[in-house]
Amino acid sequence: MPSDAKILIVDDHEDTLYALESALAPLGHLVTRATSGDDALKEVLRGQVGLLLLDVRMPGVSGLDVVRYMRRVEQTQHIPVILLTGFGPDTELSATAFALGVADLVMKPVDPWTLRTKVRYLYDTHQRRRALEAEVRELRARTEERASPRAPGRLHHDTRVPPQRDGHTDARDARDARDARDAREARDARGSRDARGSREALDAREQDRTA
């Protein structure tokens, strides 16, 4: 998990912030606090927030307003959010929160062990997703780079080195050519002698018949 991915806790009551910090301390993650919806949005937009613990009802910008804004911004739309409420079960609130993609709705006062379990799971899942997305982007960039055509006007030079001929090879080739020529001339001379001998033998037989 990236050490700079922090947990942001947001509440307008100091005692609630202190209780949340104490509950999350055993996880070992960096915890940052905000006391209003405006401050929460500023902190989220600065980046490196791995999870948001957010009170539903605060003066000014409410927790639900913060979530609505986050879901419209690509940079923040996938950050897991746990909403905190001290007003008991509320069916309408639950429906609205989950429709906005809130991960969980927790009643105050919080149970430290239960809260740590939820936070650990959501935080780790979000960080694994971020790591996977980074790998996919890198792989896509490499694939596109390999598939991109060569720049216009750029010539491809054959860098292969032609086979080199040394002096021994040239001398051997010349000797072979000379031997082949001598053999051909010898064969032609032998054929000429054989033909001349045949004609002389025919002439001698013809002279014997006419004698």
Nearest to 106 by CA among 25, 168, 93: 93
pLDDT score at 83: 96
Query: Rounded to whole angstroms, how far apart are CA atoms 71 and 73?
Result: 6
Confidence of residue 2 (pLDDT cuts 50, 70, 90): very low
Instruction: Write out pLDDT tens, residues 129-138.
Output: 888 888 898 8
At 81, which helix (H) or strand (E)?
A: strand 81-85
As beta bridge partners, residue 49 has 6
Helices 112-147, 14-24: crossing angle, 10 deg rounding? 70
Q: Which residue has the higher pLDDT, 31 or 182?
A: 31
Helices 63-72, 37-45: crossing angle, 10 deg rounding? 30
pTM: 0.64
